[in-house]
Structure 1
Amino acid sequence: RQFHWFSLLAGLLALLLYQRMAYPFLWVDLIYYFKLRGYRKTLQARMQKGIVTYLDCFLYQAKTNPNKPFIIFENRTLTYQVVDRRSNKFANAFRTEGSLKQRDIVALGMFNEPDFICVWLGLCKLGCEVAFLNVNIKAKSLLHCLQSCGAKTLVVGAELVQLVEEVLPALKDNMTVWVVDHTSPSEDFSSLLDKLEHVSGEPLSDPPKVDIMSNFLFIFTSGTTGLSKAARVGHLKAIMSMAFLQMCGATSDDIIYITLPLYHMSASLLGIGGCIHLGATCVLKKKFSASQFWKDCVKHNVTVVQYIGELCRYLVNHPTVPEEKAHSVRLAAGSGLRSDVWMEFVKRFGKVKIREGYGLTEASIGFLNYTDEVGAIGRASYFNKLSMPFQLLRYDPQTYEPVRTDSGRCIQAQIGEAGILVAPLTAMNQFLGYAGNNILSEKKLLRNVFKAGDVYFNTGDLLLHDYRDFLYFRDRIGDTFRWKGENVSTTEVSDVLGLLDFIQEANVYGVTIPGYEGRAGMAAIVLKPAHKLNGTKLYNHVVKTLPAYAWPWFLRIQTSLDVTETFKQQKVKLVQEGFNPDVTQDPLYFLDVSKKDYVYLTLTLYQDIVSGKTHL
């Protein structure tokens, strides 16, 4: 009998040893899978109590923890109850003064501040669909955004009044414009804050009923073609996004520091939404500052920070400050973190656990690296595919289109080979499309992928699945690249450059620079006959018409542009050659902000940029 127990024990040990060697991440995968299932059960239980939407979650916290600090901003602290009452005031003011009602579309353009959240929640209480505007956009883009989402009401912070004044003539009388201020700059604007003094802070007597499958928000994503697109974000997607911080390991006792702009999904749904879901406290910053970051963390006892890769790079490149070792931050959650910055971040800033994820505005497909493996965005284990089905497809490197067999079906990418990430459309993974653009919405869908009639959402991202079941982000495909944490549309930048009288054609693409996240903008340009490059004029034009993250930092002057057989601009070779004067005979130029000009790119200047001596 003793022998029997001994052999059983030996067998179990051998099995454990085999598991450790063959499936080292089995237990963490299993734990994460049950955690995810647990969240879904919590969600279902809450839904049975009538807590269905993002707003319902907030109201639940305001009722359960009224006096808990929700937002700390500069030297102000607002509890859940204070934000609830203030958002009631906004809702009542909009209803009485602006006669807003359910399903009205309202565009919101504000920098990070508590009233962004209060105005937004107030509009939610009326059942309005809010469209978040990027505060860096220029007049032409603003006009496009308002037209594409169909907003008839615009609410802006005082800092954006000047931008709105530029587009007022084009808006005619179809737009009601509110400014979040006590006074209005002209009769074209209605002031909002003075109206709050005369309205009640009580909840609306007849709150609208909401269909969970309907649209909640519009968030603008950079178009792969032309200007940004208004992605519809459904209530279901919003409520699923709120789990992010909990899945990363945050709790209701955490103090969460958010420096990302609220008009992005990361801050509004994952960050603020994550805080609301947990009933945690958020320290909100108007704008990210590398010099203030750790000082703020110490001052407010921050325990969790939200990042994008670019933010971490700024921090590791910043000179040492005493606070960077004195803080209590235990968790950093976000996306887009490069391996080298990741390792430097952990080494320099103490025991901070990194939780790197991947997500999209348009669809619910997302990953989270819940291990300590550096560089990965998530796992592709059996359990993960159960809860979030997806595929990586083999693609043609010239066209970036999925490769299809003779029978017209797509082919899965092999382990260790980058492929296009696609996800089947299901009730849980909706794609509600882009407002006002059915053609672009249809372009994001792949049909008859593995069998007749199936439909997959095409993320336009290249991912790699390695032999240990880790997933790595490789690149964006097609006509978009990321720089400074923003998506840049190459078509939009090309169109802007084409407006200059000396430019005949422009082909815009992104190039990598050692030590930088993403890709910097570069343009191959053909000058009009008998015209010279006017660097100063180009600099002034770019600064006036494009946000800083979309500026082309490098120019390559060509006699003609390379095009494909179908006359599409050829970018692959240009991207590979980059901005190295040794690789091409074409004249190269660099945007020198201090000289307000495009200057000739010499080999010395090239080496200074690559070594980090000259900053972009």
Structure 2
Amino acid sequence: MIALILFTLLALLPVLVSWRNPYFLGDLKYSVREIQIRKHVAKLQRKFSSLLDRFLEQVKKHPQKKFLVFEDSSYTYSQADRESSKVARALRTHAHLKEGDTVALFLGNQPQFVWVWLGLAKLGCVASLLNTNIRSKSLLHCFSCCEASVLIAAAGKEGQEGQQTEKKKLKDVFVKGDLYFNSGDLLRIDSEGFVYFQDRIGDTFRWKGENVATTEVADHLLTVDFVEEANVYGVKVPGHEGRIGMAALTLKENRKFDGEVLYQHVKNFLPSYARPRFIRIQDALAVTGTFKQLKTKLAEEGFDPNIIQDPLFFLEDNKGYVPMSQDIFSSISEGRLKL
């Protein structure tokens, strides 16, 4: 009888615990899986082999087996081995690379990325992978940090922005000696303890998971010959997290807005997530008593042509900046036009 009671209690224990903590079973499952993975990793560590070692093993075992599929093309292990060896020979001969050198790669999604990476591994070089979305200052910063002796880039890539500064480090916040990093994110914690991203604060906004510095986007816009002043800010879009880029511009005297010229400029100098999707042309930019640009009211007004009397333009993919219409606004608001 006692055994039956104990058995019943043990059987009901997970149910009772789950009732008190709805995440118990999920956490237990995760813990068991983590233990299994740790055991597997420990076995692998006892017999270490690099990715290059594994690749060369597969070249010997399955030379004609598909190794890589890209768009309408496919490459076998044997082909990948030959292409990467060509790269290794070229880099050793022309770039004079030797074992231990660091090489920065600024390549997009293409087979050549794999050939170059494997070629560098064959030479015993370290590949430092640069984010192809970054431009000018950020690209230069990352290239300097990795201390690469050679940069390999695909044709047509430019550079861009955004660095950490000492100003973002907060010291002695709660107790003396502690250190926090001010990410500029506004977060929300729900009743169950989950943390959600709400918005960016300060002179930045976030779009598609990327942080955009408004001052740096404005600096690029000011280099366009017909732009006199630029005020960049983020606006809310129904059904989307974060804010999308918008810029209020004033034009130089006797100059007209050229949507095609501006489009080519932002396409060349800014990553896609940082390009202003909406442009508002104003006679003068609103500023505070200390000449700081006002962004809050502009952000609240958004890009609704029914509210805004100033000329508005929308960045249409592969076409440039076109006049903002009620149809475009409705398509965006109703989720029919993808941003």
TM-score over 0.5 for the pair = yes
The question of 1:453 aligning with 2:180 is answered: no
The question of 1:611 aligning with 2:328 is answered: no
Taking every aligned residue pair, what percent have the same amino acid on both sides?
40
Note the C-alpha offset of 1:11. 4.1
CA distance in 2, matches of 1:442, 1:41: 41
The question of 1:98 aligning with 2:107 is answered: no
- Residues 62-461 of structure 1: matches in 2 within 5 Å? 62-63=56-57, 66-67=61-62, 69-73=66-70, 74-79=72-77, 83=80, 86-125=83-122, 126-132=124-130, 134=132, 151-157=148-154, 160=155, 163=156, 227-228=160-161, 440=164, 442-443=166-167, 445-456=169-180, 459-461=183-185
Which blocks of at least 5 consecutive residues in structure 2 are unaligned?
none
Deviation per residue, 1:505-532 (Å, 9 max, x gap) = 322223233355654321123445x456
Secondary structure at 1:552's aligned position in 2? Answer: coil
Deviation per residue, 1:208-231 (Å, 9 max, x gap) = xxxxxxxxxxxx9xxxxxx335xx
Note the C-alpha offset of 1:554. 1.2
Q: Could you say if the C-alpha distance between residues 78 and 526 of structure 1 is closer, same or farther in structure 2, counting changes exceeding 3 Å?
A: same
* Partner of residue 481 from structure 1, selected from 202, 206, 209: 206
Deviation per residue, 1:364-407 (Å, 9 max, x gap) = xxxxxxxxxxxxxxxxxxxxxxxxxxxxxxxxxxxxxxxxxxxx
Q: Could you say if the C-alpha distance between residues 458 and 34 of structure 1 is closer, same or farther in structure 2, counting changes exceeding 3 Å?
A: farther
Which 4+ residue blocks in structure 1 deviate beyond 6 angstroms?
136-145
Deviation per residue, 1:317-362 (Å, 9 max, x gap) = xxxxxxxxxxxxxxxxxxxxxxxxxxxxxxxxxxxxxxxxxxxxxx
| 2:24 equivalent in structure 1 | 26
Q: Could you say if the C-alpha distance between residues 90 and 490 of structure 1 is closer, same or farther in structure 2, counting changes exceeding 3 Å?
A: same
Deviation per residue, 1:21-79 (Å, 9 max, x gap) = 2212212112223433543454455444345xxxx244246437842643223332333
Instruction: State the one-letter code of the partner of 1:481.
Output: R
CA distance in 2, matches of 1:614, 1:64: 46
CA distance in 2, matches of 1:76, 1:605: 40
**Contact persistence 1:108–1:131 (CA under 8 A):** yes
Secondary structure at 2:119's aligned position in 1? Answer: helix
- Residues 560-579 of structure 1: matches in 2 within 5 Å? 560-562=285-287, 569-579=293-303
CA distance in 2, matches of 1:82, 1:461: 47
| 1:391 equivalent in structure 2 | none
Note the C-alpha offset of 1:494. 0.8
Instruction: State the one-letter code of the partner of 2:103.
Output: V
Question: TM-score w.r.t. structure 1 length?
Answer: 0.45
Secondary structure at 2:304's aligned position in 1? Answer: coil
Q: Could you say if the C-alpha distance between residues 59 and 470 of structure 1 is closer, same or farther in structure 2, counting changes exceeding 3 Å?
A: farther
Note the C-alpha offset of 1:495. 1.0
| 2:214 equivalent in structure 1 | 490
How many residues align structurally? Answer: 331
| 1:39 equivalent in structure 2 | 37
**Contact persistence 1:552–1:591 (CA under 8 A):** yes
Note the C-alpha offset of 1:13. 5.5
Q: Could you say if the C-alpha distance between residues 493 and 455 of structure 1 is closer, same or farther in structure 2, counting changes exceeding 3 Å?
A: same
Q: Could you say if the C-alpha distance between residues 37 and 110 of structure 1 is closer, same or farther in structure 2, counting changes exceeding 3 Å?
A: same
Secondary structure at 1:474's aligned position in 2? Answer: strand
Note the C-alpha offset of 1:141. 8.0
Secondary structure at 2:231's aligned position in 1? Answer: strand
CA distance in 1, matches of 2:137, 2:21: 54
The question of 1:504 aligning with 2:232 is answered: no
Note the C-alpha offset of 1:113. 2.8
* Partner of residue 275 from structure 2, selected from 547, 551, 564: 551
CA distance in 1, matches of 2:39, 2:174: 31
Note the C-alpha offset of 1:474. 3.4
Which blocks of at least 5 consecutive residues in structure 1 are unaligned?
168-219, 221-226, 230-436
Deviation per residue, 1:85-143 (Å, 9 max, x gap) = 65355334423442213553423233423331121132244233424352x77789877
Deviation per residue, 1:428-479 (Å, 9 max, x gap) = xxxxxxxxx7xx2545544445443334455554444433344444345552
Instruction: State the one-letter code of the partner of 1:128.
Output: V
Instruction: State the one-letter code of the partner of 1:114.
Output: P
**Contact persistence 2:105–2:127 (CA under 8 A):** no
Instruction: State the one-letter code of the partner of 1:508.
Output: V
Secondary structure at 2:97's aligned position in 1? Answer: coil
Secondary structure at 1:575's aligned position in 2? Answer: helix
**Contact persistence 1:107–1:133 (CA under 8 A):** no
CA distance in 2, matches of 1:21, 1:46: 39
**Contact persistence 1:507–1:561 (CA under 8 A):** no
**Contact persistence 1:539–1:598 (CA under 8 A):** no
| 2:246 equivalent in structure 1 | 522
Secondary structure at 1:574's aligned position in 2? Answer: helix
